[in-house]
Amino acid sequence: MSDQSCELFILRHAKSDWNTDVPSDFQRPLNKRGIKAIKQTAEWLDNYYDQPIKIISSPALRAWQTAVAVSEHLGIPEQDISFNGKLYLASHNRILGVLSEINKDIKAVMLIGHNPGLEELFDYLVIEGAPEFEDGKILPTATIAHIKLHTNWKDLQKDSGELVKVRRPE
């Protein structure tokens, strides 16, 4: 069983800027608060987890900026980040499809994307223990959840993981 377990880090993109003149939601950048928060999250992760992590991110600008900030802090080259268009505003079922395509030799993945799909995925995978912050969200912006999965990427199913830790930036 131990050779089938995996570590999943679900990271919601940092706070984005709604006051821009960008033509679409896809192009919204991080705001100053988001940039500060994601640096805190990346620093925490660097101190918390010392194994190789594969980063898979939505290509939306706010998720891309989040992924690059985290990868820089962890020493992962930007070209090693997988940007997958299926993750943009994806449902948990679509995200499960992306996860099922991961090579079985990869044991730790960080998934960077958007709500509500990430919270739906969390609810689907985690047996119990989901925190709910004062704003009613499980994964507010720049929050990361570490889930130990008791199966491989192809066989993910309801309640196949347990929450190890959730970290929300200050």
Q: What is the pLDDT of residue 1?
A: 40
In a domain, 152, yes or no: no
Q: How many domains does the chain have?
A: 1
Domain membership of residue 118 as a residue range: 2-146+157-167
List the CATH number of the domain containing 51: 3.40.50.1240
Flag whether 151 is in a domain: no
Going across the sheet that includes 54-57, the strands are 82-83, 54-57, 108-113, 6-12, 144-149, 161-167
118 within domain boundaries: yes
Residue 44 covered by a domain: yes
Residues 51-76 as b/e (b if ≥16 CB within 10 A, e otherwise) read: eebbbbbbbbbbbbbbbbbbbebbeb
Mean pLDDT by 10 residues, the chain (170 residues): 79 92 92 96 95 96 97 92 97 98 95 96 86 75 95 95 91
Q: Is residue 27 part of a domain?
A: yes
DSSP state of 155: G
Query: What's the pLDDT at 2?
Result: 43
